[in-house]
Amino acid sequence: MAVAKTQADWELLARRSRRDRRIKQGLLIAFLTLVTIPVVVPFFWIFVISISARTGGVESEVLWRACAILVPTVFAYGAAHTVFRRARQRIYAAVILVLLAVVGLAFSVGDDLHLYNYRFMVNPNLVEELRGAATAGGQFPWVWVAFVNSLFVAATSMALKVTVATLAGYYLSRFAFRGRSQFLQGLLILEVFHPWMLTIPIFLVIFWIGLLNTLAGPILVLTAIDLPFFIFIMKGFFDAVPWDIEMSAMTDGASRRQAFRMVVLPQVRGGIIAIAVLGFIKGWEEYVFVTALRTGNSYWVMSTYLYYVAEDVMGVDYGVVAAVSVIYIIPSLLLYLFCQKFLTQLTLGGVKG
């Protein structure tokens, strides 16, 4: 039987609830911070090396000094965020803390910072100068050649993926045709064959159609391997567009294709942006297929450039290697940060068969 509670009982319960809530939240934050540190520190380390290392080994002294300033700042902001309830107060706290951190960093590590490691960006013949023309440095390109090639591979394969997957996704979502369910099942089965599994036979196919050692090889392959997944995503987005929209467009006199172009396509903008971002990042970072589909050094992209910078050419000059890494990672990172909204939408959009 429920016994009527007294005033004191309720107050005890309220106190206990408040305490439990605080402890729970505190433990969660402490746990997540602890496990997240190993993820974030190495990235920060690479960045610090790129702007502080002189020729020689890996330096981490600057990293620790920077952390000694930044970690307290983050904790101070966390405290300020819990204490202050108003948005304006929080912004003030953030601004003050950032200023303090900048001043602190200037004092503790300011003297060690320089951009000398980034000289590879303006000096096309850096390796040649350092190692002499006879060595591997002789055939090593300027970083912008690799950068533009990577950009070209990523952008072209992205455009192909988006176009092909959107068309197919729409057709599978809206048209009834013989073999539709077989086609969908086939797609699912193809997804089981992870593209890395097929590296060798894909190499043979590309060799036989004569695209080995051209950028067209990786572009076509990158397009193909993401297709099953992307088609399912787009089909999911098209499935979510109500039929009525299309029908009313068609009763208003549009043809099926016009209805697709003018009415349905704008509705799946989120999905298109999401697969475009994913497709671009994949093309930008690709390593396996760009190395597998060339013999020798017929073309350079950022991944092979960085690989050889780190392995062969500049192996001991950690500062330059880190600087190349930073330049390489920036486009992916920016794209990811700005389009995160669309990527999370993707996880909610889901895929229905």
Partner 1 sequence: MRSSTFRTGTNMLVFLGPASFFLVCLLLAPIFVDLVVAFTDMAQTIRINEFTTKQFSKLVRASEDAWLGFELRSSFYRALSLSAVYIFFTLAIFNLTFGLILALTTTALPDWLGGVYRAIWLLPRMSPSVVYALMWIWVVDPTERGLLNQVIGVLGFSPINMKLDAPIVLIVTANGFIGASIGMLILTSSIRSIPEHLFFAARADGAGSLSIVRHIVLPALRWPLSYITVFQFLALLVSFEYIFLIMGPARSTMTMAMLAYTKTLAPDIGAGQYAYGAAITLILIVIGVFVALVLYRLANMTRLLMSPRIEVQ
Partner 2 sequence: MANVELRNLTKVWDQVTAVDGINLEIRDGEFLAVLGPSGCGKSTTLFMLAGVYLPSGGDILFDGARVNDVEARSRNVGIVFQSYALYPNMNVLQNIMFPLRFQETRDAAAQAREMAELVQVGELLERRPSQLSGGQQQRVALARALVKQPNLLLLDEPLSNLDATLRLTMRAEIRRITRELAVTTILVTHDQLEATTMADRVVCMNVGRIEQTGTAEDLYLRPDTLFVAGFIGSPPINLIRLQASQRAVLDVPDTAETVGIRPELLHSAETGLPVTVTTVEPMGRETLVTADSDLGPLRFLEATSRPKWSAGDKLHVSFRSQDTIVFDGAGQRMSDLHAAIG
- Site residues for partner 1, window 45-84 (CB under 8 A)? 45-46, 57-60, 63-64
To partner 2, the closest distance from the beta carbon of 27 in angstroms equals: 17
Which residue, chain included where needed, has tokens 């971002």?
A: 277
To partner 2, the closest distance from the beta carbon of 4 in angstroms equals: 7
Tell me whether residue 87 or residue 348 sits nearer to partner 2 (CB atom).
87
Region binding partner 2 by CB under 8 A among candidate stretches 18-26, 66-74, 265-273, 315-323? 18-26
Which residue, chain included where needed, has tokens 């020729």?
A: 55
Q: Is 353 in the site for partner 1 (CB under 8 A)?
A: yes
Q: Is 188 in the site for partner 2 (CB under 8 A)?
A: no
Q: Is 328 in the site for partner 1 (CB under 8 A)?
A: yes
Q: Is 22 in the site for partner 2 (CB under 8 A)?
A: no
Q: Which does 62 bind (CB under 5 to 8 A by kind): partner 2, partner 1, none?
A: none
Angle (nearest 5°) at CA 189 between 185 and 190: 115
Interaction mask 297-326, partner 1, x per CB under 8 A:
-----xxx-xx--x-------x--x---x-
Q: Is 202 in the site for partner 1 (CB under 8 A)?
A: yes
Interaction mask 311-330, partner 2, x per CB under 8 A:
--------------------
Size of residue set near partner 1 by CB under 8 A: 96
Per-residue three-class SS string for the chain = CCCCCCHHHHHHHHHHHHHHHHHHHHHHHHHHHHHHHHHHHHHHHHHHHHHHCCCECCCCHHHHHHHHHHHHHHHHHHHHHHHCCCHHHHHHHHHHHHHHHHHHHHHHHHHHCCCHHHHHHCCCCHHHHHHCCCCHHHHCCCHHHHHHHHHHHHHHHHHHHHHHHHHHHHHHHHCCCCCHHHHHHHHHHHHHCCHHHHHHHHHHHHHHCCCCCCCHHHHHHHHHHHHHHHHHHHHHHHHCCCHHHHHHHHHCCCCHHHHHHHHHHHHCHHHHHHHHHHHHHHHHHCCHHHHHCCCCCCCCCHHHHHHHHHHHHCCCEHHHHHHHHHHHHHHHHHHHHHHHHHHHHHHHHCCCC
User: Of these, 6, 87, 194, 253, which contacts partner 1 (CB under 8 A)?
Assistant: 194
What residues numbered 270-289 form the site for partner 1, per CB under 8 A?
278, 281, 284-285, 287-288
Residues 6+ apart with CB under 8 A from 254: 262, 263
Q: Is 342 in the site for partner 1 (CB under 8 A)?
A: no
Q: Is 7 in the site for partner 2 (CB under 8 A)?
A: yes
Region binding partner 1 by CB under 8 A among candidate stretches 5-13, 106-114, 136-144, 332-340? 332-340
Q: Which does 5 bind (CB under 5 to 8 A by kind): partner 1, partner 2, none?
A: partner 2
Tell me whether residue 89 or residue 340 sits nearer to partner 1 (CB atom).
340
To partner 1, the closest distance from the beta carbon of 218 in angstroms equals: 11
> Where on the chain is the footprint of partner 2 (CB under 8 A)?
1-2, 4-7, 9-11, 13-18, 20-21
